[in-house]
Structure 1
Amino acid sequence: MTDLLEKTTVDLLSALLNSGETTEEFRLTLLDSLFVDAQCFISNHVSKKQIHDSQAKTTLVDILSLSVESATSARVLLLARVVLFQSVMRYSSELEEDAKLAVTTKLQWLLDVLIDAEVYSSVLSSQLPVADGSGKTIIWESMFSVLILSLKTLMINLSSSPAWEELETFLLQNLLHPHFLCWQIIMELWCFWVRHATEDLVADMIDKLCTFIMSMSSSETPLCPDSVLRRTTKSICFLLTHSHKSLTARVYKNISTESRSESAPDAYLALLLEGFPLNFLTDRIKNDAKKQIVADFFHFIENFNEKPSNSSRYTVLGAPVFALSACLRILDMSISEIDSKTLKFVVDLIHKYKNSKDEATRDRYREILSETLSIISRSEQLYTCQEMDSVITELQKLFISETGHRHHHLHKSKPNLALFLSGLIKYEMSETETCPKSRAVWELYHLLLRERHWALVHHAVTAFGYFCARTSCSQLWRFVPEDAALAFDRASGKEAKTERFMSELKMFLEKEGALLSLTPSQEELELLAEEGTEVNATVQKFLEGRNQQRSMEAEKRPNKRRKLPEGICRGVELLQNGMKRINEGLSELRSDENESEDFQKSLQNQFSCLEDLVSHLVSLAASD
């Protein structure tokens, strides 16, 4: 029934769109009437932007809305329109060229509708019945997957069509779509295109994207995640991550620090911040890139206290620090070249932060400090340096002692502070009340573990758990404040106990360990098998009981078929007579030489479907 209704509906719409007597204006009017947003449906009129013929379109909307008049929610109907549109795309191979172009113009409508919270949540959570490969079995598929597949099918059908230019425009215009789901859909289509397009065509597109981001680098800061530069590089990095490795090398060649373009370094930094896949480069190019980033970093920290100069490749203050931090995160590695100069740089940076009167400059210093802490957390050798004492003392003064409005943005650095503290496993502490560095570490952990925001709680507990599992410290209770976030009871949120914190910490670490475990233990497998056996026995018992109940109900049910009301039987009889008259009319039509053969075939197909439905109704109405 699902396959029949879907195909019949699409066939009807295709017949209207493909008809030679249908004008382009009518096709657009018809599609605009079918695919309108919730506001248009509620108010029963169409947006002025979509109107080609106001009077005709309003009439069509009225007609198409009659059958759904009793619906309780316009958004439910909106979701149904999305389902209908994906069906049209799925069977787009049956459309004529003009009809394909008309359907392609409605792709933007699809994205506009998906922005609605109820619609996109339904798309992500719902399933649709679709026919399997054989066409004989109906299976349930994720609506999102079905939608992506239908869009890819449309792309294939448009590849040799004049409507392809319209599709290209649609993909380019939405490359930076602000909605997460729409952006994901667009990137899926971009990746699909890259995998199947010719190498020359893909290379040309990549070159144009590189030129585009370099042209905007001078006016866009690479440190702003919402800037056009960052959003474009985010799309490029997504594309590279899911494409052939040669594309990554091409982008690196176009936008490397050796490029003659003055804006190339900032574009390169934006790519690194968005996860540019350095691992896809050859070992030689990757090592050269890493050496250049490290060299820029050391040049920056060595000249940090000097007057600003134009010798830096970047236009952003602290760019080498951000580049190195991003590089280490992408490659998931540490660099042995990082030495005690970095620790001295942290102390100088904190002093400059405190002395700065300009809020924008102070915030930039805070960002640089945060990224530097991330770099140190990946350099275990630094925790054994003598200069680490000064770093911890300065951090304690900054985060604990320095309070007030001037330092309200320091909370943004707490995730990287947690990373830094997790690396203190090799840091020597006497664990006595009189030890300044021990007290500094305790207070910093107290600061993090008091945080109530769920994300900061996760960072803090993860860092502390990592530290606990590897440190030689024996008095771990000193690191936990009495008012730690996880120490409070969930019911009232008032009573705090250290025992409750340790219990929550234990459960958290067990869950984290389970997520990271790739190979289950024998005990876990045996327990899982035992639980599976119990579940299977319960299900079998339930099925047996249900089958027995059905058998009893079938025995009680009378064998005599219920007789339908006279009105239904009379209506079916009239339908049969009508089918005979239509069949006679088709015979006359076949003898008419003026009618086109395509029109006759289309009409015959529709009549066959109608005949099957009427035959089914006749069988239901037949009584013993």
Structure 2
Amino acid sequence: MEGEEGGSNLQSLLHAIKASEILDARIPLVNQLEETGVSNGSELTSIAECLFTLWEESTCTGTSHCKLNKAILQVAAKYLKLENMPDCLCQFLILATKASIWCGKHLHENFSNVEDSLDERHRELFFQLVLDSLSFSSATFSALTRHPMSFENAFVLVVENFIAEQLNLLKVSISEIKRLQSIASEVLKAAQEILDTAVKLCKVYSQGINLEPCETTSKEDGDPMDCKTMDNRNHVINVTSCTIENFYKLGILAAAGGGGLVSILNVSWKGVVTLLQLEVGKAILANKINVEDIILTLVSLARESLKCTAEAWALPFKGSLSVTEAKRSFLPIKFYLINAVRICSRYPCEASKVFKDIMFCVLRISTLGLELRKETNLGTASDALAEFLEPTSFLLIHTLLNSLELENECKLQILDSLFPIDVAKQSMKSEGDICSIDNEKIAPDEALASNCEDIPSMRNLILGRVFVLVNLLKNSPDLGEEVVFMLSKKLDWLLDAFINENVYSFTLLTQIPQVSGLTTSPEIAVQPMFYYILNSLKTFMIVASSSLAWLEVEKFLLCNVVHPHPLCSEIVTELWCFLAQHAERDLLNDTVDKLSSLIWTLASSGQGPIPSSALRKMARSVCIVLNCTPQSAIDRIYGSFFGEDNARNGASVALHLALLMEGFPLDSLSENLRKLAVRRVLTAFCGFIESNSKNLVDRSSTSIPGLHGEPVYALSSLFSHNQIKGHEIDNKYIWPILRFTMTVIHGFKSITDTSKKDQYIQFLGQTLEIISHIKQAYACDQMHELVSELLSLFTAYTTISDGQLHLCKPALAAFLAGLSHMEISEGEECPSSRAIWELYHNMLREKHWALVHLGLAAFGNFAARTSCNQLWRFVPHDAALSFEIEQEREPNEENFMSELRKYLERDGALLAPSPCKDQLGLLVREGAVLREVIEKLVCEPKRNGFGNNGQFQKKRKLPEGINEGISLVQRGLKAMSDGLARWRQQNDCHSSESREMQEELSVHLSCLEDVVSHMASLDERG
């Protein structure tokens, strides 16, 4: 009876509420509902229906209207917490939907159309109503999470409409948050609760629905799900996609104005990522939501935040920046990038559609990090960027390159966009800008505001491109075999980039930060850019050695072994040395044999070992590599080059001399082979000087084109590279050597042909170099005569027309240093002593900086070892260093002694480079000159016998049998390619095993095509 009485009272109250037409009269009646007990679900349903019926959708009529709506929400919030409310949850959802629509509409009108129409009291009441509506929305989401509704069509539409309207009110509230100052904190708190509960609801829905295929199969479309399961899944996808869409818009709103709404920014974007990762049908969800737009927005937000940060630090930046401040500036950027990485890993196909924007963002981050290194007061910012942003930005690239869902063609497009060929060869500055390097500033508008569509023409990002490629090479162990193969084809791009003057200068001078240690407590270590590049390339060589990419790496090493640019040549030579030191024996022998074949081909082309020739350049690289090669390999190579069969071969003679002039490691040969090699050089030298003791023969029978007297050059080279000692020369040959030197001097004096004089000058320099290493030669009586002859030569021929004598000054300096082993009389009556003094005077008067250095070195060595006491006699009063730098009117002996003391006491060069603007400017100018030289060589490849990649250009014809075989292989490759294409069109190509086999075959065929094309290019007819 008590329950019936309570029910009767409730019905009477509900009837009274509906019958009341005055708003002020309804408010106390509605409040009474909050105190009325509910005994069953039907009564709760009656209350819920009454409440959403009372909510009028008309325009707000005043404070009474707001009070009534506020009372309705308070009553509904109480009954929403009851356990028996699932039966009437739909009515509460309708009420929440109507409240959200009403509040959103009036909130917009309040601030846009009639801002001053509400008085202060009404405004505050309305704001509280908005806050109550948001709180009720959060409670309704929680109720839905606790009591998931059945998937009936009517309820499904109510739920979807409810979620859309709640999140729409949230967007309006957040967009007007600055005007809701009195309740701003409460709105943000309620918004965060709504977002959290919305994510939980989507998780519950995705876990509750059966996404597995059902037994019932539709006959029409072949879908393995029954209609009910399909409808349920569609509902879950609709709810999830609607939530994601609104979260995405909220995230954009929260990011506006610098991202001040941190809590909303955090929850909204994390919610987007979480919901996109739900297992609710990835393909269908991707069709309903524009995932690429979400990725693009995150990347754009990161890019915009990076631009603002760079502008804040744009030069002139006078203050000091702490690591904490720098990290705080980079935190929003890292937040956007991390969320972008998570979405890209889940939806790589969608991410690949906007890969240009993604790669552009990565390039901007890398470029800014390198630009910051140029300024000492921004070094902490560069360190923070290396620790905070670079790992995450590089993860964006790795995510796409390592994705199994992306085709190799797509990955190749990504790498081509990062490293386009034309960008590597473009200059970052015009010729007129090179001289203004001292005024160079970090310009964010120039370095960071380019459009991603213009990636191939963005020259100002080339430093970032180089750094990205080097990082990919360094982390190649984490990449797939097909990506490693693609990267191997980008090695030539890297060398082309080093030709750019700014990259050249930056590589040589700049130290970059590297993150080491655990990710939880990383440490920043500074490393020179040059060594970072070398270590990355060496890592890549190790990874590539066990895959098909090694063919490309080997081709790269062989083609660039004599690269015309010094930095590129140094890098390639270092890689050869690394290969020689650490490669397995079979791999080393095979690669070194190919290198040997290449230099042998070059020597056979008729080139002589003249300075700066291709043969000399390659000989230098080969000698450096052989210094790192095991003895057995060196013995084998020496035997193949200079065995009995090749002893009298002209190419062998040219190659032998070129290698000796560049320091062939004779000491690394086995003992017997070294003795044989030294004996061969000495025998040839002795025979040459004997046959030319009185007059120089114009040409010897075995001479090399462009070079006469190769035995003299060979012995001089052995001494220069410390491959032979002076005591190994028999004393019986000393007088012939001195006599030959005087013959050269007399010959130079007697002839008038300028071309022949150059030849005599070279002989004189080589013989003086040989004598300077033979200590016992200075004890011969004939040495006095030679000194006098040298004095007469250098004093008689000092005119401009005989300026080629300067070419002998380095050898003369070495010869003068060795005079400390000679017995010298210090009296003025001794002609040989006077001759020695005059020779030193001649040397020390030279004003060229290189000759000044050589003269000081010679005099310092002489003074340290000689028994002479009157050293002042060797120094002229007008020595080059006796003059003041600014005022050269009168010499001062104290200046010379001061400079000599500095030279003798100098410890050496600095161990750690500390570049300044002047050094950077000099390197940029030097790089510009080198680039012009390289461009001329590229335009005229046949002039020096080498093409763009350093390959020797020679017209050749292969035998007909080989050409026929190449044609057969090419036809076979075409047949295999056609077969692979047909296989891909078959139905079974969708299986994972088929795809893997197809990819493997595709990589093999690509490698074979490259090899066969290279073989065909060997024939000029090919």
TM range (shorter): 0.7 to 0.9
1:359 to 733, 738, 754: 754
Q: CA 1:100–1:464 in 2, change beyond 3 Å: closer, same or farther? A: same
Question: Alpha-carbon deviation of 1:435?
Answer: 3.5
1:327 aligns with 2:697: no
Residue type of the partner of 1:290?
Answer: V
- Post-superposition Cα deviations, 1:413-454, rounded to whole Å, max 9, x if no partner, equal 101101111111243444444433223222211111011122
1:425 to 1:140, Cα distance in 2 relative to 1, 3 A:
closer
Distance 1:120 1:245 in 2: 36
* Residue matched to 1:346: 741
- Distance 1:42-1:398 versus aligned 2 partners, 3 A rule: closer
Is the partner of 1:415 in helix, strand or coil? helix
CA deviation profile, 1:96-115 (whole Å, cap 9, x unmatched): 33333332222212111112
Q: Does 1:409 align with 2:804?
A: yes
Give the aligned length. Answer: 496
Q: 1:353 to 1:215 in 2, by over 3 A?
A: farther
Counterpart of 2:678, as a letter, is K
Mapped contact 1:301–1:342 kept (Cα < 8 A): yes
Distance change (3 Å), C-alpha of 1:426 and 1:169 = closer
| 1:182-581 to 2 correspondences below 5 Å | 182-256=568-642, 258-260=644-646, 262=649, 263-304=651-692, 305=695, 307=697, 312=702, 316-329=707-720, 330-331=722-723, 333-334=725-726, 335-337=728-730, 338-511=733-906, 514=907
Q: Look up the equivalent residue of 2:750 and give its one-letter code.
A: N
Within the alignment, does 1:88 sit opposite 2:449 as a pair? no
CA deviation after TM superposition for structure 1 residue 231, in Å: 1.0
Distance 2:582 2:557 in 1: 16
**1:161-183 deviation line (CA, Å, top 9, x unaligned):** 33322222222111111222211
Of 135, 159, 168, the residue aligned with 2:554 is 168
Output the TM-score relative to the length of structure 2.
Answer: 0.45
Structure 1 residue 356, shift from structure 2 partner: 3.1
2:485 maps to 1:101: yes
1:257/1:423 CA distance change after superposition, 3 Å: farther
Counterpart contact for 1:392–1:440, Cα < 8 Å: yes
Change (3 A) 1:361 1:148: same
Structure 1 residues 368 and 88, CA gap change in structure 2 (3 angstroms): same
Q: 1:134: Cα distance to partner?
A: 4.7
* C-alpha contact (below 8 Å) 1:101/1:162 kept by paired residues: yes
Contact 1:33 1:64 in 2 (8 A): no
Cα 1:64–1:502 shift into 2, 3 Å: closer
Whole-Å Cα distance in 2 between the matches of residues 32 and 42 of structure 1?
19
8 Å CA contact 2:696–2:744 kept in 1: the answer is: no
Q: 1:293 to 1:215 in 2, by over 3 A?
A: same
Match of 1:17 among 386, 389, 401: 401
Q: 2:450 aligns with which of 57, 62, 65?
A: 65
Of the structure 1 ranges 289-298 and 470-479, higher mean CA displacement relative to structure 2 is found in 470-479
Q: CA deviation at 1:74?
A: 7.2
Deviation at 1:236, TM superposition (A): 0.7
Aligned to 1:110: 494
Contact residue 210 and residue 254 of structure 1 kept, 8 A:
no
Deviations 1:297-327 (A, max 9, x none): 1111000137567665766421111111111
3-state SS in 1 of match to 2:526? strand
Give the SS at the match of 1:494.
coil
Write the distance in 2 (CA, Å) between the matches of 1:472 and 1:67.
74
Alpha-carbon distance in structure 1 between the residues aligned to 2:565 and 2:621: 13
Name 1:149's counterpart in structure 2: 535
CA distance in 1, matches of 2:864, 2:835: 20
Aligned residue for 2:642, secondary structure, equals coil
CA separation in 1, counterparts of 2:684 and 2:500?
Answer: 46
Cα pair 2:427 2:459 within 8 Å, conserved: no
Shift of residue 345, structure 1, vs aligned partner: 0.7
Structure 1: which 5+ residue stretches go unaligned? 44-61, 517-593, 597-624
Per the TM alignment, residue 81 of structure 1 is displaced from its structure 2 partner at its CA by 1.9
Q: Which amino acid aligns with 1:326?
A: S
Percent of aligned pairs with the same amino acid: 41
Question: Counterpart of 1:151 in structure 2: which amino acid?
Answer: L
Per-residue CA deviation, residues 138-187 of structure 1 (Å, 9 max, x unaligned), is 22222222222221222222223333222222221111112222112112
Alignment check: 8 A CA contact 1:257 1:265 kept = no
Aligned to 2:267: none
Query: Does the aligned pair in 1 maintain the 2:425–2:500 contact within 8 Å?
Result: no
> Which residue number in structure 2 is paired with residue 564 of structure 1?
none
* Larger radius of gyration between Structure 1 and Structure 2: 2
**8 Å CA contact retained: 1:207, 1:254:** no
Take 2:842 and 2:407, find their aligned partners in 1: how far apart are those partners?
70
Distance 1:302 1:41 in 2: 56
Among 513, 516, 529, the alignment partner of 1:132 is 516
**Alignment partner of 1:130: what SS?**
strand
Distance 1:436 1:218, change over 3 A: farther
The alpha-carbon deviation at position 372 of structure 1 amounts to 0.5
Which of these residues, 32, 44, 56, is aligned with residue 416 of structure 2? 32
Distance 1:113 1:309 in 2: 45
SS in structure 2 of the partner of residue 331 of structure 1: coil
Distance, in Å, in 2 between the alignment partners of 1:142 and 1:306 is 52
Deviations 1:199-237 (A, max 9, x none): 233223333333333333354554422111111111111
Residue 220 to residue 440, structure 1, CA distance change in 2 (3 Å) = farther
Q: Closer, same or farther in 2 for the Cα pair 1:310/1:487, shift >3 Å?
A: closer
Q: CA deviation at 1:389?
A: 2.2
Q: Is the 8 A contact 2:844 2:856 kept in 1?
A: yes
Aligned to 1:550: none
Q: Quick one: structure 1 residues 86 and 311, their matched pair in 2 at CA, closer, same or farther if it must change by over 3 Å? A: closer
Q: Give the alignment's TM-score, normalised by structure 1.
A: 0.73
Q: What value does the CA root-mean-square deviation take over the aligned residues?
A: 3.1
**CA distance in 1 between partners of 2:902 and 2:698 (Å):** 50
1-structure distance, mates of 2:578, 2:864: 45
Residue 646 of structure 2 aligns to a residue in which SS?
coil
Q: Is the deviation greater in 325-334 or in 427-436?
A: 427-436
2 CA distance for matches of 1:364 and 1:309? 11
Q: Which amino acid aligns with 1:13?
A: I
User: Is contact 2:809–2:851 with CA below 8 Å preserved after alignment?
Assistant: yes
Q: Supply the distance in 2 between the matched residues of 1:346 and 1:221 (Cα, whole angstroms).
A: 28
Contact 1:322–1:371, Cα closer than 8 Å, also in 2: yes
> Retained in 2: the 8 A contact 1:220–1:228?
no
